[in-house]
Amino acid sequence: MNIEVIAIGDELLRGLIVNANGAFISRALCLQGLKVARHTTLPDHFDKLKEGLQEALQRATCVIATGGLGPTCDDCTRKIAAELFHSPFHFDKRVAEDLKRRYGQDLITLQDQATVPSHAEVILNTVGTAPGLIFHSAGKTLILLPGPPPEMQPMFTKDILPFLKRHFPQEHKEKIEQIHLCLLNENLIDPLLRSLKERYPQIDFGIYPGYGTVTLSLSAQDEKALQSAKKEITAAFPHKIFSSPQGTIEEALHLWFLENKKTLACAESCTGGMLAEKIVSNAGASEYFLGSFVTYADALKQSVLHVPESILKAHGAVSEEVVRAMLDGVFQISGADFAIAVSGIAGPAGGSTGKPVGTVFAAIGQRGHPPDVVRFQLTGSRQTIVLITTFRLLAALWRKVVHKIPCFQG
Amino acid sequence: MNIEVIAIGDELLRGLIVNANGAFISRALCLQGLKVARHTTLPDHFDKLKEGLQEALQRATCVIATGGLGPTCDDCTRKIAAELFHSPFHFDKRVAEDLKRRYGQDLITLQDQATVPSHAEVILNTVGTAPGLIFHSAGKTLILLPGPPPEMQPMFTKDILPFLKRHFPQEHKEKIEQIHLCLLNENLIDPLLRSLKERYPQIDFGIYPGYGTVTLSLSAQDEKALQSAKKEITAAFPHKIFSSPQGTIEEALHLWFLENKKTLACAESCTGGMLAEKIVSNAGASEYFLGSFVTYADALKQSVLHVPESILKAHGAVSEEVVRAMLDGVFQISGADFAIAVSGIAGPAGGSTGKPVGTVFAAIGQRGHPPDVVRFQLTGSRQTIVLITTFRLLAALWRKVVHKIPCFQG
């Protein structure tokens, strides 16, 4: 069983959009024990697309392609797939009825979208207009799905995964263990990983750095070796390993707050709402998350969070004194059990000699207790600084609540 | 000139992270008039990676690969590239000195990272430890860059783009026009695009839907035809075309607020800070953006935004009455010239018969004027609902301020 995932569209090759479908599909397959051998992104150009699809079908048993199915005139994937699988087209009444029901009689692309290759299994699209198609013959499978993630994702989960499980039962049960770490960098894990790799040659090790977190992936058929290696890693980083099905620190934090029935609020400046956004990306965050005060303007830091004007004037908005006052303010207004306050210079402008771009001050605390306050210095683009700040603060709070360790200790 | 972009790493093929490097590099090249023919993602496996790199070098003049350069034990890209370009290794003092200066004498990976292929041009990494490498011989170029975007991006912009401009001067000057539209869907543009394609066969048309926006891309060597086609599209959608160098609605809005010196604030519930985050993703947003009140809990809607408890009780937090009161509150506290208030059910839980998951109420207004209020119904995952809501509201505000059109009109 050899799977390749293809994304189709000039928009991807021109960098207009990021290919998120490859990761979504790969992750879903990986969780089923199915490995993806390659991702390819191909243009909307008929001959080049046909060539790329043919190559992939030669290498792989199953090719899953997204995009190029829309009713617009630059989409030619269906035609190519029908050629490759020698299929005529026919008008599919079931697709037509479904489109009429959802879009009305006047949908101009109805005729086009309901005309499908006769040799393909048709998957109805519950969100958009283009149906999915499964070609399956002579030991090769080609699955075509619409490109927009809101259309592709439900189709993949509801129809394609069950199809794959039915047709490609897992052959050799390779076990995969993922270990998620925070608050450390790649260089710190390297010596241990080198040693483990020597002593466990039967295990495949992977190390995947994120913004402020690192995921280790161990895969092997030898379950005993896998657990033994995992134990060594766990012992080496007892307070830096977090547990999260999705592998995100915001989910680990989410699970703790749900379980411990404590509440959380934020006071943000440079992160501009990203702390809140990461927290509420978890369904059910409303159980504990009260909200965030994105006080971008100093006037709002004063009027909403009650940061004294004198402190802002004396120390500047990016200072230890201001994040302490912001934290006091957010506790006072929200009554939350825990809170994060942050103010920094995300750049590219706004830096000074004493506080260059990338200077961040943060305060994290529990109501009624003295907060942990820190200054750190980051480098990179505006977006990088905001991302690293966000995930570092979420990780620091996670370690504080789970392991009772001051937020900004090594 | 034929460029392919390769991303290396099992983390990508397992869906642990999304490949953002492909889009970044492609976009930067596209803006220089250089087209990318293909993206490929390859595993950390020595033989498979070597095979994939060899294939790409056969098809393309220039291959740009990211990832697999780190000091960790699963990275084998350098070795493979040295084999393909018949290069020995040597210890590079310049790299070693730079690493010592930035990380100190004790960096355990120093010896490893400073040992580089002798036939490659070395690019110092200003953020992380792995240097970039350029192999350039016999009409083929292979560029190796580190995988983490904060390391790759500055290296690409500062060193690789100038290298490419020097070695691959643009041959045929193909002109590209991008037209960004909001508040309409793909089906509405299709008839016009079909007609244009018939009448302008010399132009390549592409249509790229995003969350709430659509980008049309027209490319041709015939500048006159290009401008004529662009004029037709502009005439067909006079109030839906926005102007933004990055092609984002938040940037179009940003430019208007900067130019018109008006201020903006938000009151968010279901979007959980994403409205604010998109706004402040533009450098300089502090000139006009005051902040956002992410009042996730009803108690904060009352205490901070002064939403009357009676309204919350009578109509529920997701209602027209509540978003009107939230808007009043954000105007009152912030004194902003314009504001957005939103409350909805992002799901997957929390829906009811009358207000299913995906129900969103929003109010957008100018201080002292009656607001535009709307209810809309979305489908999709929690994340999709939040994303579409965010971009739709930004677009509605953009059209209101730029074209003086009520926010939620057709």
**Which of B4, B73, B378 would you mutate first to test chain A, the one with the most A CBs within 10 A?**
B73
Mean pLDDT on B137-147: 94
Distant-in-sequence, close-in-space partners of A140: CB < 8 Å, separation ≥ 6: A57, A61, A62, A63
Chain A residues within an 8 Å CB radius of B109: 187, 190
Mean pLDDT on B144-148: 93
CB-CB under 8 Å, A26 with B303: no
Distant-in-sequence, close-in-space partners of B264: CB < 8 Å, separation ≥ 6: B257, B279, B288, B289, B290, B336, B337, B338, B339, B340, B397
| Residue A267 main-chain phi, psi, to 5 deg | -130, 110
Nearest to A73 among B107, B205, B381 (CB): B205
CB A123 within 8 A of CB A159: yes
In the sheet that holds A132-137, the strands lie side by side as A121-123, A132-137, A140-145, A62-66, A3-8, A36-42, B36-42, B3-8, B62-66, B140-145, B132-137, B121-123
CB-CB under 8 Å, A293 with B71: no
Asked if pLDDT for residue B290 goes beyond 90, the answer is yes
Nearest to B38 among A40, A290, A294 (CB): A40
Between B215 and B393, the higher pLDDT residue: B393
* pTM summary value: 0.81
- Crossing angle, helix B77-84 and helix B46-59, to 10 degrees? 50
Asked if pLDDT for residue A194 goes beyond 90, the answer is no
Among A residues 46-105, those touching chain B with beta carbons less than 8 Å apart: 48, 52, 70-74
Residue A356, both tokens: 């260059």
State the number of CA atoms in the 13 A half-sphere of A64 facing the CB. Answer: 29
Chain A residues within an 8 Å CB radius of B8: none
Between B171 and A209, the higher pLDDT residue: A209
Asked if pLDDT for residue B55 goes beyond 80, the answer is yes
pLDDT value of position B155: 94
Start-to-end C-alpha separation, chain A? 45
Please indicate if any CB of chain B lies within 8 Å of the CB of A247: yes
Nearest to B150 among A15, A296, A384 (CB): A384
Mean pLDDT on A254-269: 98
CB-CB under 8 Å, A280 with B277: no
How many angstroms separate the CA atoms of B335 and A300, rounded?
Answer: 10
Mean pLDDT on B377-395: 91
CB A151 within 8 A of CB B378: no
Is omega for the bond preceding B348 within 30 degrees of 0, making it cis? yes
CB-CB under 8 Å, A187 with B108: yes
Q: How far is CA B123 from the centre of its chain?
A: 26
CB-CB under 8 Å, B18 with A19: yes
Selection from B239, B32, B67 nearest residue B151 by Cα: B67
H-type alpha helices, B245-361: 249-260, 274-280, 298-303, 309-315, 320-334
CB A27 within 8 A of CB B14: yes
Please indicate if any CB of chain A lies within 8 Å of the CB of B286: yes
How many angstroms separate the CA atoms of B71 and B78, rounded?
Answer: 11
Instruction: For residue B400, give how far its alpha carbon lies from the nearest alpha carbon of chain A (Å).
Output: 23
Please indicate if any CB of chain A lies within 8 Å of the CB of B300: yes
pLDDT tens digits, one per residue of B88-141: 999 999 999 999 988 888 787 888 889 999 999 999 998 888 999 999 998 999
How many angstroms separate the CA atoms of B273 and B281, rounded?
Answer: 12
Asked if pLDDT for residue B73 goes beyond 60, the answer is no
Q: Beta strand pairing status for A89-91 and A36-42?
A: unpaired
Question: By CA distance, what is A12's nearest residue in B?
Answer: B23
Percent of chain B having pLDDT more than 90? 72
Mean pLDDT on A270-280: 97
pLDDT value of position B74: 59
User: pLDDT tier at B171 (50, 70, 90 boundaries)?
Assistant: low
Asked if pLDDT for residue B193 goes beyond 70, the answer is yes
User: If 0-12 CB within 10 Å is exposed, 13-18 middle and 19+ buried, where does residue B105 land?
Assistant: exposed
Chain A residues within an 8 Å CB radius of B215: 11, 16
Instruction: For residue B208, give how far its alpha carbon lies from the nearest alpha carbon of chain A (Å).
Output: 6
pLDDT value of position B186: 61
Residue A345, both tokens: 């210079």
Question: By CA distance, what is B55's nearest residue in A?
Answer: A55
Question: By CA distance, what is B149's nearest residue in A?
Answer: A384
Range name among A244-248, A279-283, A373-377, B41-45 with the lowest pLDDT average: A244-248
**Which of A35, A50, A63, A73 would you mutate first to test chain B, the one with the most B CBs within 10 A?**
A73
pLDDT tens digits, one per residue of A328-343: 999 999 999 999 999 9
CB-CB under 8 Å, A379 with B127: yes
Amino acid at the residue B402: V
State the number of CA atoms in the 13 A half-sphere of B400 facing the CB. Answer: 24
CB-CB under 8 Å, B29 with A16: no
pLDDT value of position A48: 95
Mean pLDDT on B173-201: 85
Asked if pLDDT for residue A374 goes beyond 80, the answer is yes
How many angstroms separate the CA atoms of B186 and B243, rounded?
Answer: 19
pLDDT value of position A129: 87
Asked if pLDDT for residue B315 goes beyond 70, the answer is yes
Nearest to B26 among A13, A42, A281 (CB): A13
Chain A residues within an 8 Å CB radius of B18: 18-20, 22-23
Selection from B359, B318, B368 nearest residue B339 by Cα: B368
Task: Tell me the Cα Rg of chain A.
Answer: 26
Please indicate if any CB of chain B lies within 8 Å of the CB of A377: no
DSSP string, A77-130: HHHHHHHHTT--EEE-HHHHHHHHHHH-TT-TTHHHHTEEETTSEEE--SSSSP
Asked if pLDDT for residue B410 goes beyond 70, the answer is no
**Which of A54, A207, A244 would you mutate first to test chain B, the one with the most B CBs within 10 A?**
A207
pLDDT value of position A20: 92
**Which of A48, A177, A296 would you mutate first to test chain B, the one with the most B CBs within 10 A?**
A296
pLDDT value of position A154: 87
CB-CB under 8 Å, A10 with B26: no
pLDDT value of position A291: 98
How many angstroms separate the CA atoms of B250 and B285, rounded?
Answer: 10
Chain A residues within an 8 Å CB radius of B108: 187, 190-191
Please indicate if any CB of chain B lies within 8 Å of the CB of A351: no
Mean pLDDT on A348-375: 95
How many angstroms separate the CA atoms of B205 and B218, rounded?
Answer: 5
Between A213 and B261, the higher pLDDT residue: B261
Please indicate if any CB of chain A lies within 8 Å of the CB of B217: yes
Mean pLDDT on B354-366: 96
Range among B27-31, B367-371, B379-383 rated most confident:
B367-371
Instruction: For residue A278, give how far its alpha carbon lies from the nearest alpha carbon of chain B (Å).
Output: 8
Residue B243, both tokens: 């102007």
User: pLDDT tier at B187 (50, 70, 90 boundaries)?
Assistant: low
Residue B19, both tokens: 């490949």
ipTM: 0.80
What percent helix, strand, coil does chain A show, rounded to 5? 40, 25, 35
How many angstroms separate the CA atoms of A355 and A349, rounded?
Answer: 12
Asked if pLDDT for residue B163 goes beyond 70, the answer is yes
Instruction: For residue B193, give how far its alpha carbon lies from the nearest alpha carbon of chain A (Å).
Output: 7
CB-CB under 8 Å, B13 with A382: no
Distant-in-sequence, close-in-space partners of A159: CB < 8 Å, separation ≥ 6: A123, A132
CB B314 within 8 A of CB B324: no
Nearest to A109 among B13, B129, B190 (CB): B190
H/E segment holding residue A291 = strand A289-295
How many angstroms separate the CA atoms of B400 and A65, rounded?
Answer: 39
pLDDT value of position A212: 80
Chain A residues within an 8 Å CB radius of B11: 206, 208, 215, 217
H-type alpha helices, B182-297: 186-199, 223-236, 249-260, 274-280
Instruction: For residue A309, give how far its alpha carbon lies from the nearest alpha carbon of chain B (Å).
Output: 16
User: pLDDT tier at A123 (50, 70, 90 boundaries)?
Assistant: very high
A with B: how many residue pairs have Cβ under 8 Å apart?
A: 343
pLDDT value of position A126: 85
Asked if pLDDT for residue B143 goes beyond 70, the answer is yes
Instruction: For residue A385, give how far its alpha carbon lies from the nearest alpha carbon of chain B (Å).
Output: 9
CB-CB under 8 Å, B215 with A11: yes
Between A129 and B228, the higher pLDDT residue: B228
Range among A30-44, A388-402, B179-193 rated most confident:
A388-402
Residue B274, both tokens: 């994403």
SS3 A136: strand
Start-to-end C-alpha separation, chain B? 45
Selection from B268, B391, B284, B256 nearest residue A296 by Cα: B284
Please indicate if any CB of chain B lies within 8 Å of the CB of A17: yes
How many angstroms separate the CA atoms of B249 and A210, rounded?
Answer: 27
Per DSSP, what are the bridge partners of residue A116? A90
Between A70 and B200, the higher pLDDT residue: B200
How many angstroms separate the CA atoms of A218 and A173, rounded?
Answer: 14
CB B12 within 8 A of CB B44: no
Instruction: For residue A248, give how far its alpha carbon lies from the nearest alpha carbon of chain B (Å).
Output: 10
Chain A residues within an 8 Å CB radius of B200: none
Distant-in-sequence, close-in-space partners of B46: CB < 8 Å, separation ≥ 6: B76, B79, B80
CB A95 within 8 A of CB A124: yes
pLDDT value of position A74: 60
Chain A residues within an 8 Å CB radius of B13: 26, 35-39
Range name among B199-208, B227-236, B320-329 with the lowest pLDDT average: B199-208
pLDDT value of position A186: 60
Question: Which of the 8 DSSP states describes residue A60?
Answer: -
CB-CB under 8 Å, B208 with A11: yes
Selection from A340, A301, A343 nearest residue A320 by Cα: A343
Q: With b meaning 16 or more CB within 10 Å and e meaning fewer, what string describes A180-190?
A: bbbbeebbebb
User: pLDDT tier at B165 (50, 70, 90 boundaries)?
Assistant: confident
State the number of CA atoms in the 13 A half-sphere of B115 facing the CB. Answer: 10
Please indicate if any CB of chain A lies within 8 Å of the CB of B352: no
Instruction: For residue B51, give how far its alpha carbon lies from the nearest alpha carbon of chain A (Å).
Output: 12
Among B residues 129-188, those touching chain A with beta carbons less than 8 Å apart: 129, 148-150, 153-154, 178, 186-187
* Residue owning tokens 């799901």: B347
Average pLDDT, chain A: 92
